[in-house]
Amino acid sequence: MLPFNQNKTTMKALNKILFLFCLLFVVSSCDDALEEEPQNKLKPQTAQDYNELLNFGYPTTRDYGTQVPLDYYVEMMTDDMDIRYFNQDRLEYPIHPYSFETTHEHSSMLNGYDQAWKNFYQAIYYANVVVDNIENASGDVGLKNYVKGEAMVLRAFSYFKLINLYGKPYDANTASTDPGVPLKLDPTVQAESYTRNSVQEIYDQILKDLTEGILLMETNDQRVNSKYKFTPISANLLASRIALYMENYEETIRYATEVINRNSQLFDLSGNTWEFAQTRWGYGQGTHYLNENNNNVLFLYGSNEFYSYVFYPGSLALSDDFTSIFEPGDLRYYYFSYVKGPQGRVPFKFRPFPNRTGEPIRGMRVEEAYLNRAEAYALTGKLGLALDDINYVRSYKFSSSFQDDDDYFEYSTEEYSTQEEVVAAVREERRRELFAEFHRWYDLRRYGMPEIVHEYNNETFILPQGDPRYILQIPQIELDYNPLMELNPR
Amino acid sequence: MGRMALEYDFLDTKTHSFQLYAGGEYRVNNYRGDNSIGWGYLHDRGRIIAPHENIGEELAGTPYLVIRDFTNKSASYFGVATYSLMDKYILNFNVRYDGSNLFGSNPKYRWEPAWSVSTRWNLIDENFMEGSIFNNLALRGSYGLQGSTNTQSTPQIVASFLNPTYWSELNLLQISSPANPDLRWEKTFSTNIGLDFALFRNRIQGAVDVYSRKSEDLITNTRISEVNGFSYLPINFADVTNKGVEFGLTTRNLYDSSGDGFNWSTTVNFAYNKNEVTKVNLDPVVARMLSGFPYKPDAALVGRPLNALYSVDFSHVDENGTARFNLANGELTEGTRDLQFEIEDLVYNGPIEAPYQGGISNLLEYSNFKLSALFTYGFGNFFRRGEILESWMYSPDQNLSKELVNAWREPGDENFTNIPHIRNETGGNNHKSYWNKSDIRVVKGDYLRLSNISLQYHLPGTALDLFRLSRGFVQLQGNNLLLFADDKLDGYDPETFPYQSLPLPTSYMLTLNVTF
């Protein structure tokens, strides 16, 4: 079946006789005669225009089947991943980050280079356009303030992603001298070089945007229910994550509690039996974890570009180091992974339906609020509260009928008596709950950048503790066209 | 469309003449077009539409109807003033303004100006030229300005409507061009001095022109730092001068005034152009400088042509089959990995476009026969041959250049070959990709081509009468018959190679042309 193509065109030349002396002698008055008549273009003027511009700014796939490549490669460098059976004719790329080459970039990656840089800076550009101009737009003041606040949160989010890809993990003692990323807050576009601001300057801006943005959104709430836009509640979750990364535990607890007070719904697996999980779950079963209809999902962005690296035979699988931390009765193990031939057990969080490639599968879920708060509690010595939070999460993830003992999965302060033990338990829970959702790499960075060992084909690749490769190299295309850009050390 | 013109002769005497001609034009085009796509159309099954059940999934987001509805308006006005004194001294002033309703265009730049002043001195009409060997002699001169602007750039943000997103169903507005208030006009100032001459009863005719064109604020869409949120931006990137000479000469070597005898005439054309960048606002990028194809603004260097060829300086292939290169500091590159070159490490090979170009044609006529031959030539430019080495993955089904037969295979081969090994190498091993961009791959673009030969036979009067024709001839013509060029081009055509197109084909044509 071929499409037919039909073109119906009418050309009309309108004859207009103008007062020609105007043409000949008074040029400026003729400008009216040349007034533009756009069909599909406009100059943004209303609050709604800016709202729609901001919608475009999200680093999220727009069309069916297209991808917005972000930080998919970080997952390939974590200790959660393993390569057993590798088919480089199919997908050459994973071996490069997996073997910790000096740069994560390789011509075999999506579109040939790292596009997270570009996509997050594009989000920042749109946010800058909105923040800079919306006050002069026409329309409802409440909407204007809300959209401005949302733009600030998107800007904070984008800088937060960038600084954690290309800058050192936040350390209050050195942040003011550690090179971060260029800070650009105005929407001018120019053929100039940009230099890197310090990690501290970037975080200062992130905090400023977050506080102001959340305040604007909350005081002018528009009751937006799209999960593809930041809302006051997802902005609070973002703030709790950022506070945790900055080791500001009081704020982590405060923001996470804000989230939990408004939404404490978790994705519930507990009704399933262990036998059912072992035998019946596999490819294509169940609701996928970041489905926009799930009540625990607060924000969705990005695309499904990571999926191909587990979908095509001969690529990433879960490491033994990771799978060994699941306990009996933990349904997440079977719900979110399955055995894929010689490749091994592969992560399967996104459960993409055939033909759903490109679906936004990155996001933020309520579970993270509990885990953020638990970690902050643990690190501030509130061990009981920390264990309460992870026990709450675990109650939704373990089979309720696995053992007669109803609370068999719960941790107690009797078993975990020291702070180190509780912190370790909370972090292990975080690893199990959030795996393959682009958290692990960033978590390892803030845990002190521990050594990672990868093996493939009898070769061992080691990323030593604190290695500079924990800070990704600036994309080559940026180095090419921005001569003042400082490289990260290697 | 509206148009108006005024013509006025202010003065018209034997010695003075002054004319003014001015006009304006205003044009409006309304365009309305619908383009519909019918998926599942079965033409030979009764033209029914039978979309498959999965069509929604497969074609989600694909439009079935595209509506285009817009109005183009343009206006222009112009004026010409001509003054002539005794038909010997002529002064001419020309001005023209064009404007259009491009969306978002800056009112300041909505009108594109162009003006020129030209003058002519008909020396042949002077008294002192009486009785000379000249039949025509005139001196010309002109100076003018042409401005043009980039139609994509706007001083303020312009957004376009997009389809609502597939996943979130949010409405979207995309910024199609960022605000670019700094963009200035491209301006070209042209100066031209010329001499027309004819002598020996027009047996020799010719013209010589010397020109200088200075282009300021050339616009290019350049790659920019992605920190901007955009990857490309039109900017005023350079000033460029073009200076040159053009020369044309036609001689009637043999001339039989009776008309039926043997005639032979020759036309020679020669042009020389020197293109030079005088100012650049863009930092050159090594990767772009090494690209072999023309028009790469971010590779412009002051004092060099705009389209220049640069290479890395190849030294030799070492005992490991690794390509080694000379660096500006006198050292050699070491190893296969992570080679980096700075601008000063590159060598300048020459312009990509031939600075010397021209043609020679001969026309021979005898009785009813006419034979003409045209040679064209160009020289002074350089190309780099195609890239034949890759660092990774020679798969069994891949076509490779036959040059690779001579690639380095084992120690000792380096004494005979300049081609590095062809083993697979990963990641940062880039010595082979730089070998592709080295000066040993550079060839000269000089050529001489027999572009055209044609032989015509005009039917004689008796034959014309017989078939009641008013005119008729038979012609045999051959195009691109011979090419003399550098052997190392290996079959590539020096005129089409830099544009990555196929060589000009050789063709023959037999024509019978009759007029009733």
Q: Give the DSSP per-residue string, A244-266.
A: HHTT-HHHHHHHHHHHHHH----
Q: Give the residue with greater pLDDT, B394 vs A268.
A: A268
Q: What is the DSSP letter of B440?
A: G
Q: What is the DSSP letter of B122?
A: -
CB atoms within 10 A of CB A236: 27
> Percent of chain B scored above 70 by pLDDT?
91
Chain A environment of B167 (Cβ under 8 Å): 60-61, 64, 228, 292, 300, 358-360
Chain A contacts in chain B segment 211-230 (CB below 8 A): 222-230
| Nearest chain A residue to B176, by CA | A41
* Cα-based distances in Å from B95 to A18, B24, B110, B378: 21, 12, 16, 36
**What per-residue confidence (pLDDT) applies to A10?**
36
Is residue B43 within 8 angstroms of chain A, CB to CB? yes
pLDDT one-digit tens code per residue, A50-102? 999 999 999 999 887 788 999 999 999 999 999 988 887 778 899 999 999 99
- Longest Cα–Cα distance of chain A, Å, equals 98
The single-letter code of the amino acid at B224 is: I
Asked if the Cβ–Cβ distance from A62 to B172 is below 8 Å, we say: yes
Give, for A450, the enclosing helix (H) or strand (E): none
> A462 to chain B nearest CA, in Å?
18
Is residue B22 within 8 angstroms of chain A, CB to CB? yes
Residue B230 to residue B176: CA distance in whole angstroms:
10
Asked if residues B47 and B41 have their Cβ atoms less than 8 Å apart, the reply is yes
Chain A contacts in chain B segment 443-472 (CB below 8 A): none
Closest Cβ opposite residue B157 in set A10, A18, A43: A43
Asked if the Cβ–Cβ distance from A20 to B166 is below 8 Å, we say: no
Mean pLDDT over A333-351 rounds to 85
Is residue B57 within 8 angstroms of chain A, CB to CB? yes
Among B225, B235, B397, most A C-beta atoms within 10 A, so best to mutate, is B225
Decide if pLDDT at B62 tops 80: no
Closest Cβ opposite residue B107 in set A3, A31, A358: A31
A462: which strand partners? A453
Picking from A144, A164, A136, the residue whose alpha carbon sits closest to that of residue A216 is A144
Decide if pLDDT at A473 tops 70: yes
Residue B201 to residue B369: CA distance in whole angstroms:
25
**Residue located via tokens 């999460």:** A393
A325: which strand partners? none
Mean pLDDT of chain A: 88
**What per-residue confidence (pLDDT) applies to A232?**
96
Picking from B344, B307, B316, the residue whose alpha carbon sits closest to that of residue B445 is B307
Picking from A228, A248, A255, A254, the residue whose alpha carbon sits closest to that of residue A150 is A228
DSSP string computed for B294-328: S--GGG--TTS-SSEEEEEEEEEE-TTS-EEEE-T
**What per-residue confidence (pLDDT) applies to A380?**
96
**What per-residue confidence (pLDDT) applies to A353?**
56
Asked if residues A453 and B257 have their Cβ atoms less than 8 Å apart, the reply is no
Mean pLDDT over A441-446 rounds to 97
Instruction: Spell A174-210 as b/e; 16+ CB within 10 A means b.
Output: ebeebbbbbbbeebebebeebebbbbbbbbebbbebb
Decide if pLDDT at A6 tops 50: no
Asked if the Cβ–Cβ distance from B172 to A18 is below 8 Å, we say: no
Q: Could you give the 3-state DSSP secondary structure of residue B389? A: coil
Asked if the Cβ–Cβ distance from B69 to A60 is below 8 Å, we say: no
- Positive or negative: CA dihedral A196, A201, A202, A208: negative
* Cα-based distances in Å from B28 to A34, A178, B71, B434, B495: 9, 60, 7, 54, 41
- Positive or negative: CA dihedral A420, A426, A432, A438: negative
**What per-residue confidence (pLDDT) applies to B360?**
95
Closest Cβ opposite residue B229 in set A41, A60, A124: A124
> Percent of chain A scored above 70 by pLDDT?
89
> B219 to chain A nearest CA, in Å?
12
- Positive or negative: CA dihedral A339, A344, A348, A354: negative
Is residue B170 within 8 angstroms of chain A, CB to CB? yes
Q: pLDDT grade, residue A245 (50/70/90)? A: very high
> A418 to chain B nearest CA, in Å?
46
**What per-residue confidence (pLDDT) applies to A36?**
58
Provide the terminal-to-terminal Cα distance of chain A, rounded to the nearest Å. 56
**What per-residue confidence (pLDDT) applies to B315?**
93
B157: which 2 tokens? 């943000």
Question: Comparing A281-295, A438-452, B224-238, which segment has the lowest mean pLDDT?
Answer: A281-295
pLDDT one-digit tens code per residue, A147-181? 999 999 999 999 999 999 999 999 999 999 999 99
* Backbone phi, psi, residue B340, to 5°: -135, 140
Mean pLDDT over B3-22 rounds to 80
A300: which 2 tokens? 């969705």
| Nearest chain B residue to A44, by CA | B159
Residue A383 to residue A378: CA distance in whole angstroms:
5
pLDDT one-digit tens code per residue, B246-272? 999 999 888 877 767 888 999 999 999
* Backbone phi, psi, residue A67, to 5°: -125, 145
pLDDT one-digit tens code per residue, B346-392? 999 999 889 999 999 999 988 889 999 999 999 999 988 888 887 66
Residue B266 to residue B374: CA distance in whole angstroms:
10
**What per-residue confidence (pLDDT) applies to A194?**
93
Closest Cβ opposite residue B75 in set A33, A42, A102: A33
Q: Give the residue with greater pLDDT, A376 vs A107.
A: A376
Mean pLDDT over A271-280 rounds to 85
Residue B310 to residue B289: CA distance in whole angstroms:
6
Asked if the Cβ–Cβ distance from B176 to A41 is below 8 Å, we say: yes
B173: which 2 tokens? 């507005």
Decide if pLDDT at A11 tops 50: no
Decide if pLDDT at A18 tops 50: no
Asked if residues B296 and B307 have their Cβ atoms less than 8 Å apart, the reply is yes
**What per-residue confidence (pLDDT) applies to B394?**
65
Mean pLDDT over B20-48 rounds to 83
Question: Comparing A378-392, B2-16, B18-32, which segment has the lowest mean pLDDT?
Answer: B2-16
Mean pLDDT over A359-368 rounds to 92
Asked if the Cβ–Cβ distance from B171 to A96 is below 8 Å, we say: no
Q: Could you give the 3-state DSSP secondary structure of residue B168? A: coil
Residue A211 to residue A149: CA distance in whole angstroms:
9
Decide if pLDDT at B208 tops 50: yes
Chain A environment of B68 (Cβ under 8 Å): 39
* Backbone phi, psi, residue A61, to 5°: -60, 140
Picking from B139, B140, B99, B89, the residue whose alpha carbon sits closest to that of residue B116 is B140
> A153 to chain B nearest CA, in Å?
17
Asked if the Cβ–Cβ distance from A36 to B233 is below 8 Å, we say: no
Is residue B68 within 8 angstroms of chain A, CB to CB? yes
* Backbone phi, psi, residue B375, to 5°: -105, 140
pTM of the model: 0.80
Is residue B102 within 8 angstroms of chain A, CB to CB? yes
Instruction: Spell B109-142 as b/e; 16+ CB within 10 A means b.
Output: bbbbebbbebebebbbeeeeeeeeeeeebbebeb
**What per-residue confidence (pLDDT) applies to A31?**
57
ipTM of the complex: 0.86
> A125 to chain B nearest CA, in Å?
5
Asked if the Cβ–Cβ distance from A1 to B4 is below 8 Å, we say: no
Q: At what angle do helices A47-57 and A141-166 cross, to 10 degrees?
A: 20
Chain A environment of B174 (Cβ under 8 Å): 53, 56
Decide if pLDDT at A119 tops 90: yes
- Here the contacts of A320-323 (C-beta below 8 Å, separation 24 or greater) are A320/A82, A321/A79, A321/A80, A322/A79, A322/A80, A322/A81, A322/A431, A322/A435
Asked if the Cβ–Cβ distance from A44 to B157 is below 8 Å, we say: yes
Decide if pLDDT at B454 tops 90: yes
| Nearest chain A residue to B58, by CA | A355
* Cα-based distances in Å from A18 to A25, A30, A322, B2, B109: 13, 10, 79, 7, 22
* Cα-based distances in Å from B193 to A456, B207, B247: 73, 11, 12
* Cα-based distances in Å from B379 to A49, A300, B211: 57, 60, 20
Chain B environment of A128 (Cβ under 8 Å): 229
Domain boundaries, chain A: 47-269+364-481
The single-letter code of the amino acid at B196 is: D
CATH 1.25.40.390 corresponds to the domain A47-269+364-481: yes
Question: Comparing A323-327, B224-228, B484-488, which segment has the lowest mean pLDDT?
Answer: B484-488
Asked if the Cβ–Cβ distance from B28 to A13 is below 8 Å, we say: yes
Closest Cβ opposite residue A481 in set B24, B171, B225: B225
Question: Comparing A296-305, A474-483, B473-482, which segment has the lowest mean pLDDT?
Answer: A474-483
pLDDT one-digit tens code per residue, A285-336? 667 788 888 999 999 999 888 888 887 777 899 999 999 999 999 999 988 8
Decide if pLDDT at A261 tops 90: yes
Is residue B42 within 8 angstroms of chain A, CB to CB? yes
Among B29, B167, B290, B343, most A C-beta atoms within 10 A, so best to mutate, is B167
> Percent of chain A scored above 90 by pLDDT?
64
Picking from B207, B198, B208, the residue whose alpha carbon sits closest to that of residue B245 is B208
Q: What is the DSSP letter of B103?
A: T
Q: pLDDT grade, residue A14 (50/70/90)? A: very low
HSE-up of residue A286 (Cα within 13 Å, Cβ side):
26
Among A64, A131, A192, most B C-beta atoms within 10 A, so best to mutate, is A64
The residues, any chain, with a CB within 8 Å of residue B203's CB and separated by 6 or more, are B251, B252, B255
Mean pLDDT over A24-46 rounds to 62
B35: which strand partners? A7, B66
* Backbone phi, psi, residue B186, to 5°: -85, 130
Closest Cβ opposite residue A191 in set B40, B174, B282: B282
Residue B446 to residue B484: CA distance in whole angstroms:
8
**What per-residue confidence (pLDDT) applies to B45?**
83
**What per-residue confidence (pLDDT) applies to A1?**
39
Provide the terminal-to-terminal Cα distance of chain B, rounded to the nearest Å. 40
Tally A–B CB contacts below 8 A: 272
Asked if the Cβ–Cβ distance from B70 to A13 is below 8 Å, we say: no
pLDDT one-digit tens code per residue, B122-161? 988 888 888 888 889 999 999 999 887 766 666 677 788 8
Asked if residues B89 and B50 have their Cβ atoms less than 8 Å apart, the reply is no
Decide if pLDDT at A49 tops 90: yes
Residue B237 to residue B279: CA distance in whole angstroms:
8
Decide if pLDDT at B51 tops 80: no
B177: which 2 tokens? 């061009």
